[in-house]
Structure 1
Amino acid sequence: MSRLSAELRLILRSRMGVGSLLLLLLLSSLAVWSGIAQMERQRETIARVSGEQRRDFAGVAATHGKPDGDAGYAAYYSFLLTHDAPPPLAFAAIGQRDIQPFVLRVRALGLQQQLYDAEAINAELALPGVFDWAFVLVYLAPLIIIALMHDLVTGEREGGRLRLLLSLPGQGLWRRRIGLRYALVLFALAVPFAVGAIVTHAPVAGTAAMLLVAALYLAFWAGCALLVGTAMRASASAAAALIGCWILLTLVVPTLASAAIARAIPAAKGIDLTLAQREIVHHGWDIAKQDTFERFFLNHPEWRGREGFEGRFHWKWLFAMHQVGDEAVARDVAAYRASLIARERWSERVGYLLPGVAAQGALHRIADTDPFGQFAYQDRIAAFHDRLRHFFYPYLFTDRPFTRADFARMPTFAPRLPSGAVPAAPLLALAVVAALLLSAGSRRVARISGADRA
């Protein structure tokens, strides 16, 4: 214990060491605070929109909820709210929540033109990413590891103390030095995160899984610093080499891999699906109404024989036209989803070789803020929209009056259940890579120790 205390005192006497750890603690705390504040703003937005939605819906019901009310007007003007509240751990790994909609109002018209219409964002605003705890862990914490560990051996050699240190009795000198620095960095990251998890009432299992990801990722960089640091003769060379590794492993190679995946797996944009659906709906105004109904009856045969109406317009024709538009782009929607899932799976495979990619992907999956969380929300919206359509069809196709009481019977949206999970494969890959680097670095230290003793 005295040896560990002595090593801790040495670190505390180093201005760079103390400054680096305090800076990491500050950045981690700011990231947690920023994440909690951003998630709270999203909750406030949901609450505010919910209040406005209730007032808007009450106004529609008062206007169109008459004893002989027309269901077409009710279906056309009734926007119903869907929302996806932030999961408890979203503050630490915001993921897709800063660029994807978490509140969407839908009505019984075509789903695709509503689902992806909110996808249009400023790509330049999304480029820098988001400052959260995951960002601090993946991009900034390795720099602190490098600052604390790059000169463990070379610094002692340059100061003429290496032979003296190796001659001291006892074993485990380098394990203590590396282990203590590693623990301090992990502590500076873990404490603010743990406080944030307590404040947000995050589940214990998810919190522990995120800390495990952090521990494995930092272990990888500790092993990297040990291996590269012992391979150099000068501290400056070791620092430069480690910075080069950081640039390659966290910036250059992941960017190239992402570009390669995007090129190999092309994917349309959601707004393209919206435009395709709208073109089909607009074309419906130029063709015979019976042609539209025939396509509609392919999946809704129960309403065949009730398509007739007098005049040039009827609401059931409009809603059938929109549903035909959705069904016409169904294959394109499935292909779009499949391409996004394929990209995500290949990104996970890239993480087997790039620890930063693995760590970030694992954190987003645990926090339920990755694309799969967004897919789950979209699936929930689609199921709700399906219930909404089928609620109105009996009124539209039988010309049943839609009264004030019928507004109260309209379907309501039920939020999705959390779908976060602990990805075993990326964590295993991260653990294996970290163990290999630490083992190789330890063997390298043992050889250097033997050579310097001789």
Structure 2
Amino acid sequence: MKTLMFEMRLVLHSRLALGAVALLLLLSALSVWSGLQAAAAQRDALVRVAASHQAEVRALAHKLASAADAGQVAYDTPHLTTNPPSSLAFAAIGQRDLLPFALRVRLLGLHSQLYESEAINPELAMAGRFDFTFLLVYLAPLFVIALMHDLVTGEREAGRLRLLTSLPANAGRFWRRRIGLRYALLWLALLVPLAAGVAIAGAGAAALGQLALVVSLYLAFWLGVAAWVAARASTSATSAAILLACLVGLTMIVPTALDAVIARTIPVSKGVELALAQRQEVHGGWDLPKALTFEKFFRAHPEWKDTAPVTGRFHWKWYYAMHQAGDHAVAAQDAQYRASLQAREQWTTRAGLLLASVNVQVLLHRMAFTDLRAQLAYQERIAGFHAELRRFFYPYFFHELPFGKADFARMPAYASTAPQGRLPAGPLAALAALAFAALLIGMRHLKKLA
């Protein structure tokens, strides 16, 4: 214990080390606060949207209920769907800044509504969000470098290295104690604000434990890399330069190159193109014989095949059948689009098995449910709700039933929930393997100094 306290005084006596720990603590608190503010802003926006939407629907109900026309009601009435942030979204905002978390849908074609709001502000996408994930992945290694770059070279330059390595005490234990102390200081600077954020968000102790595990493994990886470089570098400046090169290469250059390769290997069309294709199918349906439109519709909905045919110029069941036929026409393109996005996500996850920085982002975004899977799951819930709306309205169209005030109250409502993510075992095991391998290699090289 006395030796440990002496090491602590040595570390805190260094202005660089003390300043680095204090700055990391401050930045960690700032990142948690920024994430909490972003998640709160999204929840507030959802509350305002819901209030405005309910007022609009009440006004429409008062206006349209007397018309007893289900087709007009279905055409004019929007239905709000929301995707509220999870309790851990503050730690990893992910794609929630770029993709919609509230969408109003009507009984018209689904695909034209799902993807028409996929326009992304390029300036917002470039700036990103300063959340805990960004701090951990890109900035925390800088503080590891600040505390570890002169671990060995500082003693060599001060003329104490030969004396230290000649002491009878175990050399491995000496270096482990020094590294462990720095590890603990960085770990506390990161985890104390994060624990406060988890408590404020109400995420629970289990979520904090999972976050702490990811943080611990990522810090261990960079401490292992820093120990290996510190044992081999001849001067502190050389050690810092090599570590900075490792940081830039492992967190920026290699991930960016892999992302470019994945994007080139797995091309993905834009969702807006799907929306346009669906609308073109619907617009073209106006010039087709009604029998041909119903033939396309009845392939997927044979239960309405025996209803009365449309003989006039216009009927709501023909209009909505035309929209549904447009959805069916682009269903294969939609499936390919989603499969390509999922393939990119899978290859990114596989790349993370060898790149700790990518792996940590995959883990935290999956835990916070703010990744691509979360957005696709939201779209699937919207599609399920749209199918529920069709099941509700179709009997009114095909059996020509009246629609009154009581039917307004029976309309389906979207069940909004805040889904929670999970910690995937495969990427976590890969991160643990990288961390332990880095530590093992680093400690082996330090032992050779004795």
TM range (shorter): over 0.9
Deviation of 1:311 after TM superposition, in Å, equals 3.2
Deviation of 1:416 after TM superposition, in Å, equals 4.5
Name 1:157's counterpart in structure 2. Answer: 156
Residue 142 of structure 1 aligns with an amino acid whose one-letter code is: P
Equivalents in 2 of 1:309, 1:276: separation in Å?
26
Q: CA RMSD for the aligned pairs?
A: 1.2
- Aligned to 1:130, the other structure's residue is in SS state coil
Equivalents in 1 of 2:420, 2:200: separation in Å?
21
Alignment check: 8 A CA contact 2:98 2:121 kept:
no
Name 1:9's counterpart in structure 2. Answer: 9
Name 1:375's counterpart in structure 2. Answer: 376
Alignment check: 8 A CA contact 1:377 1:416 kept:
no
Name 2:42's counterpart in structure 1. Answer: 42
Deviation of 1:352 after TM superposition, in Å, equals 1.1
Deviation of 1:360 after TM superposition, in Å, equals 0.8
1:85-104 mapped onto 2 (5 Å cutoff): 85-104=84-103
1:382-397 mapped onto 2 (5 Å cutoff): 382-397=383-398
Equivalents in 1 of 2:308, 2:30: separation in Å?
61
Name 1:211's counterpart in structure 2. Answer: 212
1:403-439, CA deviations, whole angstroms, 9 ceiling, x for partnerless residues?
A: 1110000001112562511111111111111111111
Equivalents in 2 of 1:242, 1:396: separation in Å?
68
1:323-362 mapped onto 2 (5 Å cutoff): 323-362=324-363
Equivalents in 1 of 2:129, 2:64: separation in Å?
44
Deviation of 1:129 after TM superposition, in Å, equals 2.3
Equivalents in 2 of 1:307, 1:42: separation in Å?
47
Deviation of 1:128 after TM superposition, in Å, equals 3.1
- Aligned to 2:300, the other structure's residue is in SS state coil
Equivalents in 1 of 2:293, 2:286: separation in Å?
9
Equivalents in 1 of 2:308, 2:369: separation in Å?
44
Alignment check: 8 A CA contact 1:216 1:431 kept:
yes
Deviation of 1:258 after TM superposition, in Å, equals 0.5
Higher mean displacement: 52-61 or 157-166 = 157-166
Alignment check: 8 A CA contact 1:222 1:438 kept:
yes
Equivalents in 2 of 1:149, 1:215: separation in Å?
17
Deviation of 1:93 after TM superposition, in Å, equals 0.7
Alignment check: 8 A CA contact 2:231 2:446 kept:
yes
Quick check: 1:78 aligned with 2:59? no
- Aligned to 2:178, the other structure's residue is in SS state helix
Equivalents in 2 of 1:390, 1:97: separation in Å?
31
1:247-296, CA deviations, whole angstroms, 9 ceiling, x for partnerless residues?
A: 00000000000010011111111111101101100100111111111100
Equivalents in 1 of 2:208, 2:113: separation in Å?
35
Equivalents in 2 of 1:157, 1:210: separation in Å?
37
Name 2:138's counterpart in structure 1. Answer: 139
Alignment check: 8 A CA contact 1:380 1:416 kept:
no
Alignment check: 8 A CA contact 1:293 1:307 kept:
no
- Aligned to 1:412, the other structure's residue is in SS state coil
1:277-318, CA deviations, whole angstroms, 9 ceiling, x for partnerless residues?
A: 011001001111111111001111122243533532221111
Alignment check: 8 A CA contact 1:206 1:367 kept:
no
Equivalents in 2 of 1:204, 1:140: separation in Å?
25
Name 1:180's counterpart in structure 2. Answer: 181
Deviation of 1:168 after TM superposition, in Å, equals 3.9
Name 2:194's counterpart in structure 1. Answer: 193
Give the TM-score normalised by the residue count of structure 2.
0.97
Equivalents in 2 of 1:386, 1:106: separation in Å?
11
Residue 38 of structure 1 aligns with an amino acid whose one-letter code is: A
Residue 300 of structure 1 aligns with an amino acid whose one-letter code is: H
Name 2:22's counterpart in structure 1. Answer: 22
Name 2:259's counterpart in structure 1. Answer: 258
Residue 162 of structure 2 aligns with an amino acid whose one-letter code is: R
1:420-435 mapped onto 2 (5 Å cutoff): 420-435=421-436
Deviation of 1:179 after TM superposition, in Å, equals 0.5
Deviation of 1:337 after TM superposition, in Å, equals 0.8
Deviation of 1:353 after TM superposition, in Å, equals 1.0
Number of residue-to-residue matches in the alignment:
448
- Aligned to 1:369, the other structure's residue is in SS state coil
Name 1:298's counterpart in structure 2. Answer: 299
Equivalents in 2 of 1:224, 1:54: separation in Å?
56
- Aligned to 2:448, the other structure's residue is in SS state helix
Residue 369 of structure 2 aligns with an amino acid whose one-letter code is: D
Name 1:452's counterpart in structure 2. Answer: none
Name 2:288's counterpart in structure 1. Answer: 287
Equivalents in 1 of 2:418, 2:47: separation in Å?
19
Name 1:116's counterpart in structure 2. Answer: 115
Percent same amino acid among aligned pairs? Answer: 54
1:268-283 mapped onto 2 (5 Å cutoff): 268-283=269-284
Equivalents in 1 of 2:304, 2:142: separation in Å?
66
Give the TM-score normalised by the residue count of structure 1.
0.97
Unaligned runs of 5+ in 2: none
Deviation of 1:217 after TM superposition, in Å, equals 0.5
Equivalents in 2 of 1:378, 1:402: separation in Å?
29
Equivalents in 1 of 2:91, 2:143: separation in Å?
19
Residue 32 of structure 1 aligns with an amino acid whose one-letter code is: V
Deviation of 1:401 after TM superposition, in Å, equals 1.1
Deviation of 1:78 after TM superposition, in Å, equals 0.6
